[in-house]
Amino acid sequence: MQATTLALVGATGGTGTTRTAVELAALGARDGRDVAIVDAAFTTQGLSEYVSGRIGTDLTTLVTDETGASLSAATYPIAAGGESGGAVGSTGAGAGSDAPDLPGRADAIPARAPFERVARAKTAEAARKLERRIDEAATGYDAVIVDAAPVGSNEAVAAVTAVDRAAAVYSSTAHGRDALQRLRGRVADVGAGLDRSIAVARGVGREGTAEGGDESDADVRLPPTDPAVASAPTAATGTGAYARAVAAVFEDAFDATVGIEFEEPGLVDRLTP
């Protein structure tokens, strides 16, 4: 698979965009690929929660104060179980007992900055530097996922215009579908488009249980999973409905074939819409 860039754009805040990005990266690493997540959601900085230990240099530093530094200066392995776990795919000293040993790499390039630097990272000039950083990531990884907030800031516009494909992530509810339509309009306004849509079922329950949401516009649907950072990444080792759905998203987004064996869905799973 050629290095490909994908922006995941939340239709609203709290839709599970960052979690979806982390799961896709872990799934790719599980399948032997090196995958990076670039955090273009500077305000929420949610990707930093999936990094173990202290974050020194971050992405906002690279687009403001240290523009000549290598991207690796702000690159950190994604942790199993958030801050309490070891690095996914790592076998070195930083790997914890809960960290799966994966054949590929799942890295985060997070934003973790005070308000003053975040404000400077939101300028149009910084957005152009962000575009170059996304291109830089694409030269070193098999796949690059950009975690973007709803399009309403310079960095979000940079995310959707600098990538090969963009996918909307929205809640599997009627409200989420309405937000998806608004997002389509915003993305069109900046001269870009949404190539895919991912409906995320909210809440914790049996994997694959439908929540009565509206996902008629979705290309792929992710069933419920525990939303806690400590439960991620499920797709690193899971074999059930959620991991299968993440694999389907990865294959669709990156024109890839995932060679992971999953459990066959049971009768109830097959009958669930």
Answer whether residue 215 shows pLDDT above 70: no
- In this structure, the dihedral spanned by the alpha carbons of residues 108, 207, 249 and 94, taken in order and rounded to 10 degrees, is 20
Q: Tens of pLDDT along 220-242?
A: 899 999 999 999 999 999 999 99
pLDDT digits (tens, 9 = 90+) for 176-214: 999 999 999 999 999 999 999 999 997 644 443 444 455
Q: What is the pLDDT of residues 61-114, one digit of tens each?
A: 999 999 999 999 999 999 987 555 678 875 444 445 567 789 999 999 999 999
Task: Give the separation between CA 240 and CA 192, rounded to whole angstroms.
Answer: 35
User: What is 4-271's CATH topology?
Assistant: Rossmann fold (3.40.50)
Encoding tokens for residue 214? 């509206």
Residue 263: pLDDT above 90?
no
Residues 6 or more apart whose Cβ sits within 8 Å of residue 210: 201, 223, 272, 273
Q: Are 207 and 242 in contact (CB under 8 A)?
A: yes
All structural domains of the chain with their residue ranges: 4-271
